[in-house]
Amino acid sequence: MRLAAAARLWGPPGLLLTFALHPALCLRPGRTAAPPHRDYCVLGAGPAGLQMAYFLQRAGRDYAVFERAPRPGSFFARYPRHRRLISINKRHTGKANAEFNLRHDWNSLLSHDPQLLFRHYSRAYFPDAGDMVRYLGDFADRLRLRVLYNTTIAHVTLDKDRQAWNGHYFILTDQTGQAHRCSVLLVATGLWVPNQVDFPGSEHVEGYESVSVDPRDFEGQNVLILGRGNSAFETAENILGVTNFIHMLSRSRVRLSWATHYVGDLRAINNGLLDTYQLKSLDGLLESDLTDLAVVKDHEGKFRITLKFFLEESNQSADAITLPQDDNDNFAMRVAYDRVIRCLGWKFDFSIFNKSLRLSSSGEFSKKYPLVKASYESKGSRGLFVLGTASHSVDYRKSAGGFIHGFRYTVRAVHRLLEHRHHRVPWPSTEHPISQLTNSIVRRVNEASGLYQMFSVLADIILLKENATAFEYLEEFPMQMLAQLETITGRKAQHGLFVINMEYGRNFSGPDKDVFFYDRSVGHTEDAWQSNFLHPVIYYYRHLPTEQEVRFRPADWALPRPTAIHHIVEDFLTDWTAPVGHILPLRRFLENCLDTDLRSFYAESCFLFALTHQKLPPFCQQGYLRMQGLMGTESLRRHGIESGLLRDYATVGRPREDGGQRPVGSSPAPGLPVQPLDGNKEEL
């Protein structure tokens, strides 16, 4: 029951308050009838919970959000301790396109209300956490989301019922004992249980959640920080100037987010300590497994680092314990510390879920997350979805699914899935004639934010219609679920499909990679597949891949091997609209996949084709023949003639002026009309 203990210890302060304020306390029902039912129950009114509530509300669904605190976003009320968010709030991009601008707005949730953009809440590039709390509060209020505040769900269990959507109901019991019955449970509780490592002397360690944030408390001290994430560096940053030195200890090497392209790794804004370490200013980084350590308090009240192993050996008094430096007199941490601070991050609170829900942790490398499928549905129980930060096992250390700017899109994907599963609303799509294929792709790769943030997790899908004369465009589908596309979306993929994804170069990102190497940028279209920076990649499949193919895809591949693949060459401005550099190679790729001609033509060309060919290119069929030909202007036509792509028919072989006087072809076969031999001699 360590987890429960931890929860009580470090739980937000709102918990006790909740008991006092909750109105249900007074109206406690004394009935035995079935508990109140809701189709959708959302746990937690943090960003992910509110985002889901928004979509459910817009779709007119029966839902409620349960929040133990009196206001949304209680995590942000406390964290980060030093109040500076590291998610960027870029208020200017030089573009008006709202969708594009979301690529650089990492804090806003999705809504139809332009007032609910984070840039109206803070002018800071790295905003204050208080603004986030205010924003989330406004988001819930302005949109009138149905949130039950001060309601702590203490226990979740299953109630089997054949009538239920998923064969069972989820029974949620709050702190008053009131039960709530839900058809679908959406868990958006985040990670809030601080991670702790159990070693002798861990009681001497202060936690990030409670350590002082006042630098004056650290004046002239030796500080040891355990952990190497953003919270550890953020803590160090705050006291860097007042301590004697800071040592930072963790199991693995530091992962810099600009090298890994993962926003959860150490952000440059927090990395002042790296600078002082490498510039020989007493601060330093050390690597060691924390579980082998022990902290002992010496007679001066200072902390000494030793090994667990030495403690087990003898049972002596504190001052007599063997220290590593006794054997090894240049041991790095032989100095005594005034403080040891633990900054090891958080984990998911599994404690409220009954065993029958079979909600388990994700395994060795992402223990702190519950195990979910790529559709964010729990592997253990159907109808239970994990949203937000807690759903990050899907793309941990890869993409942005653990952060607002990423999970706002995965939440939308889950909502679309639910709409189809329970309400027969197929995944939204637009249908276009094939002549619009290149355009549709160019538009999305240039503005879509979901693709950009959730690269290699969410991808756009193009489903071809029979004979490839038209297609359907589906946005932001969880690409690992590609094999189940038809059941999830309710759309048919019988005639081939394209998947539009964004990717970094295969070997570009990594904690030990030099991302500034010379020649890192690719400019030539034929080398596009070697692009390093984030760029669009288009996969073409003749058939929907099977589950097996998705699961056993080659290592390093985001998807199974396609029939053909296209990379749009990386672009320094992330503007993939260059006619020859970006659009032309894309068109050639699409043409060759579909074995057709996707060029656009002026009406005059279509007119010529219509009278000189039995078949027309798609652009003429779908435009000109439907009376929507492109007429063009005189100046464009002149350019066309100059370029050689259009002909100047006014000057084409003028007919002879002798108007059919000469008998032509009266006898079909023998030879040609004879002209006098010497007639045109001088002509040469």
Partner 1 sequence: MQRIAWKYYPRQQDHNTEQNREKSPASVQLQLMMSSSFNIFRVGISFVIMCIFYKSAVDSLSELSPQKYFSTLQPGKASLAYFCQADSPRTSIFLEELNEAVTPLQDYGISVAKVNCVKEETSRYCGKEKDLMKAYLFRGNILLREFPTDVLFDVNAIVAHVLFALLFNEVKYITTLEDLQNIENALKGKANIAFAYVRAIGTPEHRAVMEAAFVYGTTYQFVLTTETALLESIGNEDIENAHLYFFHCKQVLDLTLQCRRTLMEQPLTTLNIHQFIKTMEAPLLTEVTEDPQQVSTIHLQLGLPLVFIVSQQATYEADRRTAEWVAWRLLGKAGVLLLLRDSLEVDIPQHANVVFRRAEEGVPVEFLVLDDIDSLISHVESNVHVEEIQEDEDEDTKSPNMDVQDDEVAETVYRDRKRPLPLELTVELTEETFNTTVVASDSIVLFYAGWQAVSMAFLQSYIDLAIKLKGTSTMLLTRVNCADWSDLCTKQNVTEFPVVKMYKEGKNPVSYAGMLGTEDLLKFIQLRISCPVNITSVQEAEEYLSGELYKDLISYSSVSVLGLFSPNMTTAKEDFTEAGNYLKGYVITGIYSEEDVLILSDKYAATLPALLLSRHKEGKIESIPLANSHAQDIIQIITNALLETFPEITVENLPIYLRLQKPLLILFSDGSINPQYKKAILMLVKEKHLDSLTPCWLNLKNTPVGRGILQSYFDTMPPLPLLVVVNLHSGGQVFAFPSDQPITEQNLLLWLKKLEAGLENHITILPAQEWKPPLPAYDFLSMMDAAASQHPTRKDPECTKETDVQENDKKQHEDKSAIIKEPIETLRIKHWNRSNWFKEGEKSFRHDNKEL
Q: Which of 8, 95, 123, 355 binds partner 1 (CB under 8 A)?
A: 95
In the complex with partner 1, which residue's Cβ is closer, 279 or 669? 669
Cβ–Cβ < 8 Å for 322, 306: yes
Burial class of residue 258 (count of CB atoms within 10 Å of its CB; 0-12, 13-18, 19+): middle
Residues 126-145 that bind partner 1 (CB under 8 A): none
In the complex with partner 1, which residue's Cβ is closer, 226 or 590? 590
H or E, element range at 95: none
Q: Which of 59, 77, 82, 99 binds partner 1 (CB under 8 A)?
A: 99
Sheet architecture: strand order including 429-433: 429-433, 470-478, 458-464, 497-503, 535-541, 564-567
Nearest approach, Cβ of 491 to partner 1 (angstroms)? 16
d(CA 641, CA 647): 5
- Considering the rule CB under 8 A, would residue 96 count as an interface residue with partner 1? yes
Nearest approach, Cβ of 651 to partner 1 (angstroms)? 9
Give one DSSP letter per residue of 501-522, joined into a string. EEE--TTT--TT--TT-TT---
- Considering the rule CB under 8 A, would residue 584 count as an interface residue with partner 1? yes
- Considering the rule CB under 8 A, would residue 677 count as an interface residue with partner 1? yes
d(CA 376, CA 391): 7
If you compute the radius of gyration of the chain from its CA atoms, what whole number of angstroms results?
33
In the complex with partner 1, which residue's Cβ is closer, 193 or 464? 464
**Length of the chain (residues):** 684
φ/ψ region of 16 (left if φ > 0, alpha if ψ in -120 to 50, else beta) reads alpha
Residues 375-404 that bind partner 1 (CB under 8 A): none
Q: Dig out the tokens for 122 from the structure.
A: 């803070």
Strand, coil or helix: 665: coil
- Considering the rule CB under 8 A, would residue 554 count as an interface residue with partner 1? yes
- Considering the rule CB under 8 A, would residue 600 count as an interface residue with partner 1? yes
Q: Which of 10, 100, 350, 396 binds partner 1 (CB under 8 A)?
A: 100
Q: Which of 564, 572, 573, 574 binds partner 1 (CB under 8 A)?
A: 564
Burial class of residue 330 (count of CB atoms within 10 Å of its CB; 0-12, 13-18, 19+): exposed
Residues 205-264 that bind partner 1 (CB under 8 A): none
In the complex with partner 1, which residue's Cβ is closer, 327 or 678? 678
Nearest approach, Cβ of 397 to partner 1 (angstroms)? 20
Strand, coil or helix: 577: coil
In the complex with partner 1, which residue's Cβ is closer, 118 or 310? 118
Candidate ranges 176-184, 225-233, 477-485, 558-566; the one touching partner 1 (CB under 8 A): 558-566
In the complex with partner 1, which residue's Cβ is closer, 364 or 678? 678
In the complex with partner 1, which residue's Cβ is closer, 173 or 438? 438
End-to-end distance of the chain based on CA atoms, in angstroms? 105
Interface characters, 49-68, with partner 1 (x: CB under 8 A): --------------------
Q: Which of 540, 550, 558, 570 binds partner 1 (CB under 8 A)?
A: 540
- Considering the rule CB under 8 A, would residue 624 count as an interface residue with partner 1? yes
Interface characters, 439-478, with partner 1 (x: CB under 8 A): x--xx--xx-------------------------------
Cβ–Cβ < 8 Å for 10, 351: no
Cβ–Cβ < 8 Å for 399, 378: no
**Residue labelled with tokens 């332009």:** 114
In the complex with partner 1, which residue's Cβ is closer, 342 or 567? 567
- Considering the rule CB under 8 A, would residue 654 count as an interface residue with partner 1? yes
Cβ-proximal residues to 424 (8 Å cutoff; 6+ apart), any chain: 490
d(CA 524, CA 501): 20
Nearest approach, Cβ of 678 to partner 1 (angstroms)? 10
In the complex with partner 1, which residue's Cβ is closer, 356 or 600? 600
Q: Dig out the tokens for 92 from the structure.
A: 């200017």
Q: Which of 28, 526, 572, 573 binds partner 1 (CB under 8 A)?
A: 526
Give one DSSP letter per residue of 340-404, joined into a string. EEE---EE---TTB-GGG---B--GGGTTSB-B-TTSBBSSSTTEEE-GGGGGGGTTTTSSTTSH
Q: Dig out the tokens for 172 from the structure.
A: 């949620």
- Considering the rule CB under 8 A, would residue 322 count as an interface residue with partner 1? no
In the complex with partner 1, which residue's Cβ is closer, 345 or 623? 623
Residues 494-523 that bind partner 1 (CB under 8 A): none
- Considering the rule CB under 8 A, would residue 585 count as an interface residue with partner 1? yes
In the complex with partner 1, which residue's Cβ is closer, 220 or 554? 554
In the complex with partner 1, which residue's Cβ is closer, 312 or 597? 597
d(CA 186, CA 385): 5
Interface characters, 401-440, with partner 1 (x: CB under 8 A): -----------------------------x-x---x--x-
Nearest approach, Cβ of 498 to partner 1 (angstroms)? 12
Q: Dig out the tokens for 541 from the structure.
A: 């499949």
Supply φ then ψ for residue 91, to 5 degrees: -90, -15
Cβ–Cβ < 8 Å for 250, 287: yes
The count of chain residues that interact with partner 1, using the rule CB under 8 A, is 110
- Considering the rule CB under 8 A, would residue 32 count as an interface residue with partner 1? no
Candidate ranges 4-12, 355-363, 402-410, 662-670; the one touching partner 1 (CB under 8 A): 662-670
Give strand pairing partners of 285: 248
Burial class of residue 288 (count of CB atoms within 10 Å of its CB; 0-12, 13-18, 19+): middle
d(CA 580, CA 268): 36
Q: Which of 528, 534, 544, 559 binds partner 1 (CB under 8 A)?
A: 528
H or E, element range at 462: strand 458-464
- Considering the rule CB under 8 A, would residue 113 count as an interface residue with partner 1? no
- Considering the rule CB under 8 A, would residue 597 count as an interface residue with partner 1? yes
| Long-range pairs for 26-31: beta carbons < 8 A, 24 or more residues apart | 28/176, 28/177, 28/178, 29/178
DSSP conformation class of 109 = P
Residues 634-653 that bind partner 1 (CB under 8 A): 635-637, 639-640, 642-643, 645-650, 652-653
Q: Which of 4, 124, 425, 625 binds partner 1 (CB under 8 A)?
A: 625
Q: Which of 97, 278, 494, 546 binds partner 1 (CB under 8 A)?
A: 97
Q: Dig out the tokens for 43 from the structure.
A: 């746990």
- Considering the rule CB under 8 A, would residue 596 count as an interface residue with partner 1? yes
In the complex with partner 1, which residue's Cβ is closer, 25 or 483? 483
Nearest approach, Cβ of 424 to partner 1 (angstroms)? 23
d(CA 487, CA 480): 14
In the complex with partner 1, which residue's Cβ is closer, 99 or 209? 99
Nearest approach, Cβ of 668 to partner 1 (angstroms)? 5
